[in-house]
Amino acid sequence: MIDFASGPFTVSPTRILRLAALAIATLVALIAPAAAHSLEEVDQDLRDKERYFQAFDSEAPGFSLQDAGGRLISLDSLRGKVVVLNFVYTNCPDVCPLHAERIAEIQKMVNQTPMKEMIEFVTITTDPKHDIGPVLRDYGAAHGLDSKNWVFLTSAPDKPEDTTRKIAEAYGLKFTEGDDGMQMHGIVTHVIDQDGRLRARFHGLKFEPVNLVVFVNALTNRTQKPHPHPQPGFWVKLKGSLPW
């Protein structure tokens, strides 16, 4: 907290790092088209620095679901945008709210840059019998998500109750429902490129948000195909000077 009334003020180290991350993410997004290097190089950099990052290159499992207003949205309909995908259910008492807030943090960083128009954040509920229209709408507002480029999806009422859990399982994430309605599950944030290919998983909640922002920035610049450059890229130099 900053106290201006008492003269000299202090800012917590965590706050400083978050502000620095936002500034760096914005700077990278603005200059990256001139300094972009291959996705392979970004992958390797994140493997070295981000222990919760897992690179992928496979066709992303498809889905066709509906939003809070009943509008049908499929993965195919999102072609041309980078998709940041996660799975939660709204009655989850612990990690799901934290996951939603982490996604909101990443979205806020992205939406300070031109990437706002290039990235769609998608959350899929694994409890469609409970998570219907008003519940879906309220959840985003409660956790700071911007509906401009975020959507919360559920299955249609005439679909089996485990429809979205099967989609999660296709992404390698199992939600097991107990007798009390609670679901045992892991936490993964998936990144899908403009062509519908799964390109990365960020596991858990301890990854640095700026690392995911850097990864999606590389995808928005279409760096999937490597190209030579004589000097190390801007991000390689900058990341080497950071404490994380």
Q: Kindly give the confidence (pLDDT) of every residue in the chain, 244 residues in length, as a single tens digit, with 9 standing for 90 and above.
A: 434 344 444 555 555 556 555 555 555 544 344 344 578 888 888 989 999 999 999 999 999 999 999 999 999 999 999 999 999 999 999 999 999 999 999 999 999 999 999 999 999 999 999 999 999 999 999 999 999 999 999 999 999 999 999 999 999 999 999 888 899 999 999 999 999 999 999 999 999 999 999 999 999 998 665 544 444 554 454 555 555 5
CB 155 within 8 A of CB 147: no
- Alpha-carbon distance of 85 to 120, in angstroms, equals 8
Nearest to 92 by CA among 101, 84, 83: 101
Which class is 13-240 in CATH?
A: alpha beta
Return the ∠ at Cα 101 (arms to 241 and 84), rounded to 5°: 75
Alpha helix locations (H) across 74-200? Answer: 95-110, 133-142, 163-170
CB 172 within 8 A of CB 178: no
Alpha helix locations (H) across the chain? Answer: 13-35, 39-49, 95-110, 133-142, 163-170, 209-220, 234-240
Q: Is 92 annotated as a binding residue?
A: yes
Alpha carbon 190 to chain centroid, angstroms: 7
pTM: 0.79
